[in-house]
Amino acid sequence: MKKAVFVALDYDNLSDVQQLLKQLGAPKETYLKVGMELFYHSGSEFVSELVQKGYHIFLDLKLHDIPNTVYGAAKQLARLGIDCTTIHALGGSAMIAAAKKGLIEGTKAGKEVPKLLAVTELTSISDQILADEQNCSLPMTKQVVSLAKTAKISGADGVICSPLEVSNLRSQVGEDFLYVTPGIRLAENQNGDQKRVATPQKAKEYGSSAIVVGRPITQAQEPAIVYERIKKEFN
Ligand SMILES: O=c1ccn([C@@H]2O[C@H](COP(=O)(O)O)[C@@H](O)[C@H]2O)c(=O)[nH]1
Protein backbone atom coordinates (compact mmCIF):
# COMPACT_ATOMS: atom_id res chain seq x y z
CA MET A 1 0.00 0.00 0.00
CA LYS A 2 1.25 3.47 -0.90
CA LYS A 3 1.86 5.88 2.00
CA ALA A 4 -1.50 7.47 1.31
CA VAL A 5 -3.81 10.02 2.89
CA PHE A 6 -7.32 8.52 2.59
CA VAL A 7 -10.01 11.21 2.61
CA ALA A 8 -13.06 9.91 4.50
CA LEU A 9 -16.20 10.71 2.49
CA ASP A 10 -18.55 10.70 5.46
CA TYR A 11 -21.56 12.22 3.68
CA ASP A 12 -25.24 11.35 3.34
CA ASN A 13 -25.58 12.60 -0.25
CA LEU A 14 -23.71 12.57 -3.53
CA SER A 15 -23.74 16.28 -4.23
CA ASP A 16 -21.55 16.94 -1.17
CA VAL A 17 -19.19 14.20 -2.36
CA GLN A 18 -18.98 15.74 -5.85
CA GLN A 19 -18.46 19.19 -4.38
CA LEU A 20 -15.59 18.00 -2.17
CA LEU A 21 -13.91 16.14 -5.04
CA LYS A 22 -14.19 19.29 -7.13
CA GLN A 23 -12.78 21.45 -4.32
CA LEU A 24 -9.87 19.04 -3.83
CA GLY A 25 -9.30 18.97 -7.57
CA ALA A 26 -9.04 15.24 -6.83
CA PRO A 27 -7.24 13.69 -9.77
CA LYS A 28 -7.65 10.03 -10.65
CA GLU A 29 -5.80 7.85 -8.17
CA THR A 30 -6.77 10.01 -5.20
CA TYR A 31 -7.21 7.83 -2.10
CA LEU A 32 -10.79 7.93 -0.80
CA LYS A 33 -12.54 6.13 2.06
CA VAL A 34 -16.20 5.21 1.75
CA GLY A 35 -17.76 4.38 5.09
CA MET A 36 -21.12 3.14 6.29
CA GLU A 37 -22.99 6.42 5.88
CA LEU A 38 -22.24 6.90 2.18
CA PHE A 39 -22.42 3.19 1.40
CA TYR A 40 -25.86 2.84 2.98
CA HIS A 41 -26.96 5.92 1.04
CA SER A 42 -25.49 5.20 -2.37
CA GLY A 43 -24.65 1.51 -2.36
CA SER A 44 -22.18 -0.59 -4.22
CA GLU A 45 -22.94 0.98 -7.63
CA PHE A 46 -21.47 4.26 -6.50
CA VAL A 47 -18.38 2.51 -5.15
CA SER A 48 -17.95 0.79 -8.53
CA GLU A 49 -18.29 4.18 -10.26
CA LEU A 50 -15.50 5.65 -8.14
CA VAL A 51 -13.32 2.62 -8.92
CA GLN A 52 -14.08 2.98 -12.65
CA LYS A 53 -13.01 6.63 -12.48
CA GLY A 54 -9.61 5.49 -11.20
CA TYR A 55 -9.87 6.40 -7.52
CA HIS A 56 -8.30 4.12 -4.91
CA ILE A 57 -11.14 3.04 -2.64
CA PHE A 58 -10.92 1.95 0.96
CA LEU A 59 -14.38 0.53 1.75
CA ASP A 60 -14.72 0.77 5.52
CA LEU A 61 -17.76 -1.28 6.56
CA LYS A 62 -16.17 -2.90 9.64
CA LEU A 63 -17.76 -6.32 9.23
CA HIS A 64 -18.43 -8.15 12.51
CA ASP A 65 -20.64 -11.25 12.35
CA ILE A 66 -20.37 -15.03 12.36
CA PRO A 67 -17.65 -16.37 10.05
CA ASN A 68 -20.03 -17.74 7.39
CA THR A 69 -21.83 -14.40 7.06
CA VAL A 70 -18.59 -12.41 6.93
CA TYR A 71 -17.21 -14.81 4.31
CA GLY A 72 -20.23 -14.17 2.05
CA ALA A 73 -20.12 -10.41 2.57
CA ALA A 74 -16.37 -10.19 1.88
CA LYS A 75 -16.82 -12.21 -1.31
CA GLN A 76 -19.36 -9.65 -2.58
CA LEU A 77 -17.20 -6.67 -1.60
CA ALA A 78 -14.18 -8.11 -3.44
CA ARG A 79 -16.13 -7.93 -6.71
CA LEU A 80 -16.14 -4.12 -6.50
CA GLY A 81 -12.44 -3.69 -7.27
CA ILE A 82 -11.67 -1.83 -4.04
CA ASP A 83 -8.16 -1.48 -2.60
CA CYS A 84 -8.96 -2.45 0.98
CA THR A 85 -11.75 -3.15 3.44
CA THR A 86 -12.27 -3.66 7.18
CA ILE A 87 -13.49 -6.16 9.73
CA HIS A 88 -13.41 -5.96 13.53
CA ALA A 89 -10.55 -7.99 15.02
CA LEU A 90 -12.83 -8.64 18.01
CA GLY A 91 -14.83 -10.95 15.72
CA GLY A 92 -12.12 -13.54 16.32
CA SER A 93 -9.64 -15.61 14.32
CA ALA A 94 -12.21 -17.76 12.47
CA MET A 95 -14.11 -14.67 11.33
CA ILE A 96 -10.94 -12.93 10.15
CA ALA A 97 -9.84 -16.03 8.22
CA ALA A 98 -13.32 -16.31 6.68
CA ALA A 99 -13.15 -12.67 5.54
CA LYS A 100 -9.80 -13.31 3.89
CA LYS A 101 -11.15 -16.42 2.14
CA GLY A 102 -14.16 -14.45 0.89
CA LEU A 103 -11.96 -11.67 -0.47
CA ILE A 104 -9.72 -14.14 -2.30
CA GLU A 105 -12.64 -16.06 -3.81
CA GLY A 106 -14.58 -12.92 -4.76
CA THR A 107 -11.72 -11.16 -6.56
CA LYS A 108 -12.03 -11.18 -10.33
CA ALA A 109 -9.33 -13.03 -12.26
CA GLY A 110 -6.23 -10.90 -12.84
CA LYS A 111 -7.21 -8.33 -10.20
CA GLU A 112 -5.46 -7.74 -6.90
CA VAL A 113 -7.14 -9.12 -3.76
CA PRO A 114 -8.28 -6.18 -1.57
CA LYS A 115 -6.19 -5.73 1.55
CA LEU A 116 -7.94 -6.92 4.70
CA LEU A 117 -7.54 -4.52 7.62
CA ALA A 118 -8.70 -5.47 11.11
CA VAL A 119 -9.96 -2.73 13.41
CA THR A 120 -8.26 -3.20 16.79
CA GLU A 121 -9.85 -0.81 19.27
CA LEU A 122 -11.71 2.09 17.64
CA THR A 123 -9.87 5.39 17.98
CA SER A 124 -12.95 6.72 19.80
CA ILE A 125 -12.25 4.32 22.70
CA SER A 126 -10.18 5.63 25.61
CA ASP A 127 -8.33 3.60 28.24
CA GLN A 128 -11.17 4.33 30.63
CA ILE A 129 -13.91 3.15 28.26
CA LEU A 130 -11.85 0.02 27.54
CA ALA A 131 -11.71 -0.78 31.27
CA ASP A 132 -15.14 0.38 32.39
CA GLU A 133 -17.37 -0.56 29.45
CA GLN A 134 -15.52 -3.38 27.73
CA ASN A 135 -14.31 -4.79 31.08
CA CYS A 136 -10.91 -5.32 29.50
CA SER A 137 -8.17 -5.98 32.06
CA LEU A 138 -5.37 -5.09 29.64
CA PRO A 139 -4.18 -1.53 29.07
CA MET A 140 -4.91 -0.17 25.57
CA THR A 141 -1.39 -0.78 24.23
CA LYS A 142 -1.44 -4.46 25.19
CA GLN A 143 -5.02 -5.01 24.02
CA VAL A 144 -4.19 -3.51 20.61
CA VAL A 145 -1.06 -5.68 20.28
CA SER A 146 -3.05 -8.78 21.23
CA LEU A 147 -5.76 -8.05 18.63
CA ALA A 148 -3.16 -7.23 15.98
CA LYS A 149 -1.34 -10.53 16.58
CA THR A 150 -4.62 -12.44 16.25
CA ALA A 151 -5.39 -10.53 13.04
CA LYS A 152 -1.98 -11.28 11.57
CA ILE A 153 -1.98 -15.02 12.24
CA SER A 154 -5.55 -15.22 10.89
CA GLY A 155 -4.61 -13.74 7.50
CA ALA A 156 -5.27 -10.00 7.77
CA ASP A 157 -2.89 -7.72 5.88
CA GLY A 158 -2.86 -5.07 8.55
CA VAL A 159 -4.74 -3.26 11.27
CA ILE A 160 -6.57 -0.04 11.96
CA CYS A 161 -5.23 1.55 15.12
CA SER A 162 -4.25 4.92 16.56
CA PRO A 163 -0.98 6.48 15.36
CA LEU A 164 0.00 6.44 19.05
CA GLU A 165 0.26 2.63 18.94
CA VAL A 166 2.16 2.16 15.68
CA SER A 167 5.79 2.18 16.79
CA ASN A 168 5.08 -0.39 19.52
CA LEU A 169 3.06 -2.51 17.07
CA ARG A 170 5.88 -2.42 14.54
CA SER A 171 8.27 -3.92 17.10
CA GLN A 172 5.77 -6.39 18.62
CA VAL A 173 3.86 -7.55 15.54
CA GLY A 174 6.29 -6.87 12.70
CA GLU A 175 7.24 -4.62 9.84
CA ASP A 176 5.54 -6.93 7.32
CA PHE A 177 2.07 -5.67 8.28
CA LEU A 178 0.04 -2.52 7.52
CA TYR A 179 -0.74 0.05 10.21
CA VAL A 180 -3.48 2.34 8.92
CA THR A 181 -4.41 5.14 11.27
CA PRO A 182 -7.48 7.35 11.63
CA GLY A 183 -7.64 9.65 14.65
CA ILE A 184 -5.73 12.34 12.76
CA ARG A 185 -6.04 15.93 13.95
CA LEU A 186 -4.15 19.11 13.14
CA ALA A 187 -3.10 21.11 16.21
CA GLU A 188 -5.98 23.58 15.74
CA ASN A 189 -8.69 20.90 15.25
CA GLN A 190 -11.25 19.76 17.82
CA ASN A 191 -10.93 16.06 18.73
CA GLY A 192 -14.68 15.59 18.57
CA ASP A 193 -15.48 11.95 19.33
CA GLN A 194 -11.89 10.80 18.73
CA LYS A 195 -9.88 9.87 21.84
CA ARG A 196 -6.52 8.55 20.60
CA VAL A 197 -5.34 11.23 18.18
CA ALA A 198 -2.14 12.53 16.61
CA THR A 199 -1.12 15.06 13.96
CA PRO A 200 -0.13 13.89 10.44
CA GLN A 201 3.48 14.80 11.32
CA LYS A 202 3.40 12.58 14.43
CA ALA A 203 1.69 9.77 12.48
CA LYS A 204 4.62 9.91 10.05
CA GLU A 205 7.16 9.83 12.90
CA TYR A 206 5.39 6.92 14.60
CA GLY A 207 5.41 4.95 11.32
CA SER A 208 1.79 4.86 10.09
CA SER A 209 1.53 3.06 6.74
CA ALA A 210 -1.34 5.34 5.67
CA ILE A 211 -3.63 7.81 7.40
CA VAL A 212 -7.39 8.39 7.25
CA VAL A 213 -8.69 11.94 7.56
CA GLY A 214 -12.32 13.04 7.57
CA ARG A 215 -13.59 16.17 9.33
CA PRO A 216 -10.28 18.09 9.43
CA ILE A 217 -10.63 18.20 5.62
CA THR A 218 -14.38 17.93 4.98
CA GLN A 219 -15.31 20.59 7.54
CA ALA A 220 -12.48 22.97 6.69
CA GLN A 221 -13.21 26.39 5.21
CA GLU A 222 -10.75 25.55 2.46
CA PRO A 223 -10.55 21.76 2.15
CA ALA A 224 -7.96 21.78 -0.65
CA ILE A 225 -5.46 23.80 1.38
CA VAL A 226 -5.86 21.53 4.41
CA TYR A 227 -5.63 18.37 2.25
CA GLU A 228 -2.36 19.58 0.65
CA ARG A 229 -0.97 20.54 4.06
CA ILE A 230 -1.80 17.12 5.52
CA LYS A 231 -0.25 15.29 2.55
CA LYS A 232 2.89 17.41 2.88
CA GLU A 233 3.14 16.77 6.65
CA PHE A 234 2.63 13.02 6.27
CA ASN A 235 4.82 12.36 3.22
O1 LIG B 1 -10.89 3.18 14.78
C2 LIG B 1 -11.39 3.81 13.81
C3 LIG B 1 -11.78 3.20 12.65
C4 LIG B 1 -12.29 3.96 11.63
N5 LIG B 1 -12.43 5.29 11.74
C6 LIG B 1 -12.97 6.06 10.59
O7 LIG B 1 -12.04 7.06 10.16
C8 LIG B 1 -12.69 8.26 9.84
C9 LIG B 1 -12.18 9.35 10.74
O10 LIG B 1 -12.93 10.51 10.55
P11 LIG B 1 -12.58 11.89 11.28
O12 LIG B 1 -13.67 12.80 10.83
O13 LIG B 1 -11.21 12.30 10.77
O14 LIG B 1 -12.58 11.68 12.76
C15 LIG B 1 -14.20 8.00 10.00
O16 LIG B 1 -14.72 7.71 8.73
C17 LIG B 1 -14.27 6.77 10.89
O18 LIG B 1 -15.37 5.95 10.57
C19 LIG B 1 -12.05 5.90 12.89
O20 LIG B 1 -12.16 7.13 13.05
N21 LIG B 1 -11.53 5.13 13.91
The answer, yes or no, to whether any atom of ligand 1 lies below 6 A from the CB of 98, is: no
- Each residue's pLDDT tens digit, 148-185: 999 999 999 999 999 999 999 999 999 999 999 999 99
**Cα–Cα distance, 23 to 165 (Å, whole number):** 33
Cα distance between residue 149 and residue 143, in whole Å: 10
ipTM of the complex: 0.99
Residue 62 bears catalytic tag: yes
Domain regions of the chain by residue span: 5-234
pTM summary value? 0.98
Q: Which fold has domain 5-234?
A: TIM Barrel (3.20.20)
Residue-wise pLDDT tens digits, 187-222: 999 999 999 999 999 999 999 999 999 999 999 999
58 beta partners = 33, 84
**Spacing, Cα 110 to ligand 1 middle (Å):** 31
Whether ligand 1 lies within 6 angstroms of the CB of 96 is answered as no
Find the 107 Cα to ligand 1 centroid distance in Å: 26
Q: Which of 3, 28, 62, 152 is catalytic?
A: 62
C-alpha span between 147 and 91 (Å, rounded): 10
